[in-house]
Amino acid sequence: MPREITVIAANETFSVKGLLSKIAQQGFPVRYSGVSGPEIAQNAKDSDVIVYYTYNFDARARAGLSQLKDLIVGTGKELILIGTKEEYSLVTAVIPEENVRDFFERPFDMKSFLDRLSDYLLDAAMEESKKVILVVDDDVNYLNIVREWLKSSYLIARANTSMQAIQWLAKNHADLVLLDYEMPVTSGAKMIEMLRSEEATRDTPVMFLTAHSDRDHYLRVKDYHPAGFLLKTIDKGGLLKELRNFFDQEKKKQGGGDTGSTSSGGGTDFFSPVDDFNDDFGVTGLGGIPDTDDFDFSWDDF
């Protein structure tokens, strides 16, 4: 689906109309908005990218910045500013500078602007195509490690309690849950039972992370059809390989291909991404866990 762009400016001048026309010629839905708070709230609320052409930056424009800040900060919308350095300073006095994706000083080169805009939208489209993985573990350091390993290939959400994970899944979709079997309070076995009891998460694939290749772990949860078991000693390469194998199998199933006895979510067979789990149960693990001193934890996924 084409991503929508809103161009904010005090008036639809010749220059602004030319900008709107050039963006439309690139094949992107684009609309104009005035600078007042109500206009911005109405016209830019559904836009993925907001371009603010900041000429004639009067009191009305300054008053509208609070509404623009509410639309931009923490929402994932991109803000691009076109104006003078003085106008840039006025905007960033209200909207934190880290929320401004780019700044073009007038007069600006239209071709460079359009090339950059296309890059933003392509990057966003690639991000949207990534699979979403929710990682659940009470060990914050381990959550950080897994996120660092996977974030270039997948969209990663994190939870450090089972209940936090369940609350997240009530509002969001995950293509796979990587779940620590030995979670405190609400164990991994209990959590998968709870997920299978809810219509929205009944078929969500769950792959267990475990510190022990314990046959009893599998037997306790086999009726809930886990997608597999991974030893927490698995390294980055091993984990990425297992996830690729899993999603390849999912893609084949959706396309009606032959996948043998593999299954996930609400399927009928236990899916093992590897060849052996002691007595043929699917646990795999490679290498060790690296030092975690270089990882800073933040709940930026929630």
Higher pLDDT, 40 or 302: 40
Question: Which tens digit of pLDDT belongs to each residue from 187-234?
Answer: 888 998 999 999 889 999 999 888 877 677 667 777 778 888 888 888
Nearest-angstrom CA–CA distance, 43 and 34: 9
pLDDT of residue 226: 87
- Cα–Cα nearest to 254, from 239, 264, 241, 269: 264
Higher pLDDT, 183 or 283: 183
pLDDT of residue 67: 92
Does the structure show a pLDDT above 60 at 258? no
pLDDT of residue 250: 86
Kindly report, as residue ranges, where domains of CATH 3.40.50.2300 are found in the chain. Answer: 5-128, 131-284
Does the structure show a pLDDT above 50 at 163? yes
What single letter denotes the amino acid at residue 120? Answer: Y
Q: Are 210 and 278 in contact, with CB atoms under 8 Å apart?
A: no
3-state SS of 126-194? HHHHCCEEEEECCCHHHHHHHHHHHCCCCEEEEECCHHHHHHHHHHCCCCEEEEECCCCCCCHHHHHHH
Fold of 5-128: Rossmann fold (3.40.50)
Nearest-angstrom CA–CA distance, 289 and 145: 8
Please give the average per-residue pLDDT across 77-99, as a whole number. Answer: 92
- The conformation of residue 89, written as its DSSP 8-state character, comes to H
CATH class of residue range 131-284: alpha beta
pLDDT of residue 128: 67
Percent with pLDDT over 70 in the chain: 80
User: Helix or strand or coil: residue 246?
Assistant: helix
The pTM assigned to this predicted structure is 0.50
pLDDT of residue 98: 87
Higher pLDDT, 111 or 267: 111
